[in-house]
Amino acid sequence: MDCGGETSLVVNGKSVVLDKNNSATLAEFLRDRLRLRGTKVACDEAACGACTVLIDGRAAFACHTLVAQLGGSSIETIEGLAHEGRLHPLQEAFVIQDATQCGFCTPGMIMTLKAALDGGARTRDQLMQAISGNICRCGAYLHILAAAESLL
Ligand code: FES
Ligand code: FES
């Protein structure tokens, strides 16, 4: 919603107001202003997927998105997945399948896979395609895929 020099967006269900001239990326805004540090920044140039969040349900690189352009949008980050003390099924699956090593890629992987599963992914190939832009430097891909596949 736009109002004068301000605009607003919704982050994990809460409305947030910001200046339309804010020059921060969404990743900077989430981490520095909202203190939502679950969204990671590695390459900072749209090449690794670590910063993936959902914008209106679609996976997007927060490092490459200007927050001021997102007025009226709904953003979901890794912090928004657990409810009432219960992990999201994807988070539980990552634990069960031992899909996290250092954990740096994990939030981006989970958000990417959530968008894919919510969007109708039904095969392992579709899941692999979904995470083709997400790099895991620990090489935990097989465990990550197993976690996502367990929810097909
Ligand atoms: S930190 Fe955004 S894609 Fe790598
Ligand atoms: S678990 Fe370390 S980068 Fe993926």
Q: Which ligand is nearest to the CA of 107?
A: 2
CA of 44 to the centre of ligand 2 (A): 16
pLDDT tens for residues 61-105? 999 999 999 999 999 999 999 999 999 999 999 999 999 999 999
C-beta 48 within 6 A of ligand 1: yes
Does position 44 have pLDDT exceeding 70, yes or no?
yes
Does position 3 have pLDDT exceeding 80, yes or no?
no
CA of 6 to the centre of ligand 2 (A): 38
Does position 114 have pLDDT exceeding 90, yes or no?
yes
| pLDDT at residue 2, as a whole number | 59
Does position 1 have pLDDT exceeding 60, yes or no?
no
CA of 132 to the centre of ligand 2 (A): 14
Percentage of the chain lying above the pLDDT 70 cut: 97
| pLDDT at residue 138, as a whole number | 97
Q: Which pLDDT band holds residue 36 (cuts at 50, 70, 90)?
A: very high
Cα–Cα nearest to 106, from 50, 66, 149: 50
**Nearest atom in ligand 2 to 99's CA:** 1
C-beta 137 within 6 A of ligand 2: yes
| pLDDT at residue 111, as a whole number | 98
**Nearest atom in ligand 2 to 138's CA:** 2
Percentage of the chain lying above the pLDDT 90 cut: 97
C-beta 66 within 6 A of ligand 2: no
C-beta 50 within 6 A of ligand 1: yes
Per DSSP, the residues of 67-95 read: GGGGTT-EEE-GGGT-BTTB--HHHHHHH
Reduced DSSP (H G I as helix, E B as strand, rest coil) percent helix, strand, coil of the chain, to 5: 40, 20, 45
Cα–Cα nearest to 123, from 149, 89, 142, 141: 149
